Chain A
């Protein structure tokens, strides 16, 4: 049997270590996963580089098997990070449910966005995702009908609303059928990127994301009055 994630006491959320690189992993059945489990293990094994970046991996399904997210602990981990990684398989063209709940609960109004919601501003968000379908399926003439990029706007806009920079995603398509060597190579790219951030060649080409101010009129009047 695979190691049971529930061996981590559910009541006692692991306190944030204040790492600069925060990897949020969400896989409902990580013990049956090929790619995501190895990617997570590889990330957890990354030692602080010479540059001194520390890394913390938070396995959401192990931490919150009852879907009761410890919001203060998650926010503390985010606040300390420079790079936030969302690592998860794509389920139904989107994120797994606990990841979505994490977004709902942790990226709170007045903290991550909205008036005084500046906690994540200037941080980087990096999506590291796997898909079951091969890359060729994400085409207008194939069964997924859209290029994969078509499913990214919710991610990009989530980052934008929080004032985060959305880095180019790292994708592994056809994860079910990927060879061990391919997964290993993918994990190497992954860890190399984690280690070298923010010195990525493509970051220089990125335009600074426009600050996304939420119009005050979009907010409840009471909260608006309190926060200004």
Chain B
């Protein structure tokens, strides 16, 4: 019976996730909201497949722990050290600033000071899981806002510890002897010191020893054990498990096993984090929400707006680029899972009543549920608005019509090389990119780059698309690249498109739009490497060059010949095989002929006719 119930719950969780997440992604809501909705549906207020979500929440919290381990792995100690100012400075501003504002409002409303204090700190915390999850999903980790969100989240994790430790002092039952506190603190310091020292001195030799056993699953087990052990140690002394895992991650960030650990932990993290979001969805107490819908709405809107106001001031002072601010605000304005713990502890300590606690927990859960929705709304309405507003303010944007004969859309690794070659030859180009941070960096190097989304018709027109001769389409995102190409073909037929293709399918998409100057981004550099390899193996440099060029011509010709069949995979594969065979046979034949020529014992005949002889293949 035990095993059946375990199977059943596994069935329910996995099925819910498998159905809800792709659906949510399909309608453009992101995976997190899919998990949350799945949780609501299977939870006590939905289909009642699961009635006690708390256990699952505790278990799934481990997903957050794993996530922080991975975040730690990405941060070498040096980089963490360089982040000390954003973490302790801006992190404290966020936490204490928000808490102060919230507490002040609460006190003004005549709420008991202890409730005001606990409530404000609990609500000031944000969901690390959702914040980092969203950053990962949207690939924003490296941006200014991503770094700031991470810094603030880390500070919150650190601050949660003394917060939880101090809560009982507020309670009516403050009969603790102060000695236990000191011993606890000493233990905590000892454990952290042990983790840091152990991580520095023991972990790498241990990992090397385990890796030498060449048993991949044992390495995976080691990675998990490492995180579990650190988390257990931290919890034993009353510290945050997530913080411990983060610490362990940082200590391993410089090790040669970093990538391997990452790869091993990643799937566990993904699934457990999903489970965590499901559990959050399940634990929303709709009874409380239904009982006082108006009050909940006021509290949620109130605390989110107040926190957002504090964050907005921070974003201006830091400063965070305008288009990144909505994400920064929304991710940190929500409540967080640490709030759950704070209110639970406070209830146990008798600081607040159980009903107030479940009310506040519900408020946090609702704010977490709203976060992904707010992000989608911001994407649609707010960010485009800021992007437009921004063109009049911070970064120099495109307001005057440009008349350069070349427009470069996308100024990343690819576009920059194109641009540099053009500039070196005195060709001015109008450069568009939509990554505010990259633009700032490029401007430091003296590039005149404009902020702008090349998929907007009005912006392209301002960029001079109607009079320019060439559009270098170097956008790395395949869909956007095709969108821009389609639009340009429709609206500016005189504009020759020189396109970068990420891969063959992208190549075909562009080819079907009538674009003929398409380069696959890796083809030529890969062929150069092939040349180097042949040369190292003893081929003559010039012969290697000829072979590479001929390979290229054959390859491109074949690609174009196959364009009509690109939807028919079987045909495509057959033709690719055939083409490869043709080329192999041709090269083999030529090798044979070259060998024959080389093997010839000598040349008979007059010197005059010898001078006409030519070896078509340099002898290798």
Q: Residues of A at under 8 Å CB distance from B?
A: 9, 11-12, 66, 68, 70, 104-105, 108-109, 113, 161, 214-215, 217-222
Give the residue among A104, A109, A219, A220 with the most B Cβ atoms within 10 A.
Answer: A220
Docked-complex contact A68 and B597, CB < 8 angstroms? no
Can you show 9 pairs from A to B with CB atoms below 8 A apart? A12-B560, A70-B553, A217-B604, A218-B605, A218-B606, A218-B610, A219-B605, A220-B596, A220-B603
Docked-complex contact B612 and A215, CB < 8 angstroms? no
Docked-complex contact A11 and B557, CB < 8 angstroms? yes
Given contacts A9-B516, A12-B557, 8 further A-B contacts (CB under 8 A): A9-B517, A11-B556, A108-B616, A214-B609, A215-B606, A218-B604, A218-B606, A220-B597
Cβ 8 A contact of A215, one of B552, B597, B605: B605
With both chains docked as a complex, state the minimum distance between the C-beta of A12 and any C-beta of chain B, in angstroms. Answer: 7
Cβ 8 A contact of A217, one of B516, B552, B605: B605
With both chains docked as a complex, state the minimum distance between the C-beta of B469 and any C-beta of chain A, in angstroms. Answer: 10
Q: Mark B576-620, 1 if CB is under 8 A from A, else 0.
A: 000000000000000000001100100111100110111010000
Question: Considering only CB atoms, which chain B residue lies closest to A212 in the complex?
Answer: B609
Please tell me if B200 contacts chain A, counting CB pairs below 8 Å.
Answer: no
Cβ 8 A contact of A221, one of B550, B600, B606: B600
With both chains docked as a complex, state the minimum distance between the C-beta of B165 and any C-beta of chain A, in angstroms. Answer: 70
Please tell me if B491 contacts chain A, counting CB pairs below 8 Å.
Answer: no
Please tell me if B549 contacts chain A, counting CB pairs below 8 Å.
Answer: yes
How many residues on the B side are at the interface (Cβ–Cβ under 8 A)?
Answer: 23
Hey, which chain A residues are within 8 Å of B552, CB to CB? 11
Q: How far is the CA of A161 from the CA of B613 in the complex (A)?
A: 12
Question: Considering only CB atoms, which chain B residue lies closest to A6 in the complex?
Answer: B517
Q: Which 4 A-B pairs have the closest CB atoms?
A: A218-B605, A218-B609, A11-B556, A68-B549
Q: How far is the CA of A25 from the CA of B508 in the complex (A)?
A: 34
Q: How far is the CA of A102 from the CA of B549 in the complex (A)?
A: 16
Please tell me if B263 contacts chain A, counting CB pairs below 8 Å.
Answer: no
Q: How far is the CA of A215 from the CA of B603 in the complex (A)?
A: 12
Please tell me if B546 contacts chain A, counting CB pairs below 8 Å.
Answer: yes
Docked-complex contact A161 and B560, CB < 8 angstroms? no
Q: How far is the CA of A203 from the CA of B612 in the complex (A)?
A: 28
Docked-complex contact B606 and A104, CB < 8 angstroms? no
With both chains docked as a complex, state the minimum distance between the C-beta of B610 and any C-beta of chain A, in angstroms. Answer: 7
Q: How far is the CA of A161 from the CA of B596 in the complex (A)?
A: 24
Contact A11 B553, CB 8 Å, known A108-B616, A215-B609, A218-B609: yes
With both chains docked as a complex, state the minimum distance between the C-beta of A220 and any C-beta of chain B, in angstroms. Answer: 5
Hey, which chain A residues are within 8 Å of B597, CB to CB? 220
Hey, which chain A residues are within 8 Å of B603, CB to CB? 218, 220
Hey, which chain B residues are within 8 Å of A104, CB to CB? 614
Q: How far is the CA of A105 from the CA of B603 in the complex (A)?
A: 21
Q: How far is the CA of A156 from the CA of B297 in the complex (A)?
A: 97
Q: Residues of B at under 8 Å CB distance from A?
A: 516-517, 546, 549-550, 552-553, 556-557, 560, 596-597, 600, 603-606, 609-610, 612-614, 616
Q: How far is the CA of A221 from the CA of B610 in the complex (A)?
A: 14
With both chains docked as a complex, state the minimum distance between the C-beta of B329 and any C-beta of chain A, in angstroms. Answer: 49
Q: How far is the CA of A66 from the CA of B596 in the complex (A)?
A: 28
Docked-complex contact A105 and B600, CB < 8 angstroms? no
Hey, which chain B residues are within 8 Å of A105, CB to CB? 616
Hey, which chain B residues are within 8 Å of A222, CB to CB? 596, 600
With both chains docked as a complex, state the minimum distance between the C-beta of B562 and any C-beta of chain A, in angstroms. Answer: 14
Q: How far is the CA of A221 from the CA of B605 in the complex (A)?
A: 11
With both chains docked as a complex, state the minimum distance between the C-beta of B129 and any C-beta of chain A, in angstroms. Answer: 51
Docked-complex contact A68 and B612, CB < 8 angstroms? no
Hey, which chain B residues are within 8 Å of A221, CB to CB? 600
Hey, which chain B residues are within 8 Å of A161, CB to CB? 612
Q: How far is the CA of A105 from the CA of B557 in the complex (A)?
A: 21
Hey, which chain A residues are within 8 Å of B609, CB to CB? 214-215, 218
Q: How far is the CA of A12 from the CA of B550 in the complex (A)?
A: 12
Q: How far is the CA of A96 from the CA of B550 in the complex (A)?
A: 22
Hey, which chain B residues are within 8 Å of A219, CB to CB? 605
Hey, which chain A residues are within 8 Å of B560, CB to CB? 12
Docked-complex contact B549 and A66, CB < 8 angstroms? yes
Q: How far is the CA of A214 from the CA of B596 in the complex (A)?
A: 21
Q: How far is the CA of A109 from the CA of B610 in the complex (A)?
A: 12
Q: How far is the CA of A131 from the CA of B524 in the complex (A)?
A: 38
Q: How far is the CA of A217 from the CA of B606 in the complex (A)?
A: 9
Question: Considering only CB atoms, which chain B residue lies closest to A13 in the complex?
Answer: B553
Question: Considering only CB atoms, which chain A residue lies closest to B554 in the complex?
Answer: A11
Q: How far is the CA of A40 from the CA of B517 in the complex (A)?
A: 26
With both chains docked as a complex, state the minimum distance between the C-beta of B611 and any C-beta of chain A, in angstroms. Answer: 10
With both chains docked as a complex, state the minimum distance between the C-beta of A78 and any C-beta of chain B, in angstroms. Answer: 17
Hey, which chain A residues are within 8 Å of B616, CB to CB? 105, 108
Q: How far is the CA of A105 from the CA of B549 in the complex (A)?
A: 15
Q: How far is the CA of A214 from the CA of B516 in the complex (A)?
A: 46
Q: How far is the CA of A1 from the CA of B493 in the complex (A)?
A: 21
With both chains docked as a complex, state the minimum distance between the C-beta of A11 and any C-beta of chain B, in angstroms. Answer: 4
Q: How far is the CA of A68 from the CA of B612 in the complex (A)?
A: 21
Q: How far is the CA of A103 from the CA of B516 in the complex (A)?
A: 30
Hey, which chain B residues are within 8 Å of A11, CB to CB? 552-553, 556-557
Q: How far is the CA of A68 from the CA of B616 in the complex (A)?
A: 13
Question: Considering only CB atoms, which chain A residue lies closest to B559 in the complex?
Answer: A11
Question: Considering only CB atoms, which chain B residue lies closest to A12 in the complex?
Answer: B557
Hey, which chain B residues are within 8 Å of A218, CB to CB? 603-606, 609-610
Q: How far is the CA of A214 from the CA of B610 in the complex (A)?
A: 11
Q: How far is the CA of A220 from the CA of B616 in the complex (A)?
A: 14
Hey, which chain B residues are within 8 Å of A215, CB to CB? 605-606, 609
Q: How far is the CA of A104 from the CA of B614 in the complex (A)?
A: 7
Hey, which chain A residues are within 8 Å of B614, CB to CB? 104, 109
Hey, which chain A residues are within 8 Å of B549, CB to CB? 66, 68
Q: How far is the CA of A218 from the CA of B605 in the complex (A)?
A: 4
With both chains docked as a complex, state the minimum distance between the C-beta of B237 and any C-beta of chain A, in angstroms. Answer: 67
Q: How far is the CA of A215 from the CA of B605 in the complex (A)?
A: 8
Hey, which chain B residues are within 8 Å of A217, CB to CB? 604-605
Contact A113 B612, CB 8 Å, known A11-B556, A68-B546: yes
With both chains docked as a complex, state the minimum distance between the C-beta of B467 and any C-beta of chain A, in angstroms. Answer: 15
Hey, which chain A residues are within 8 Å of B613, CB to CB? 109
Q: How far is the CA of A216 from the CA of B550 in the complex (A)?
A: 32
Q: How far is the CA of A158 from the CA of B596 in the complex (A)?
A: 26
Q: How far is the CA of A222 from the CA of B560 in the complex (A)?
A: 39
With both chains docked as a complex, state the minimum distance between the C-beta of A103 and any C-beta of chain B, in angstroms. Answer: 9
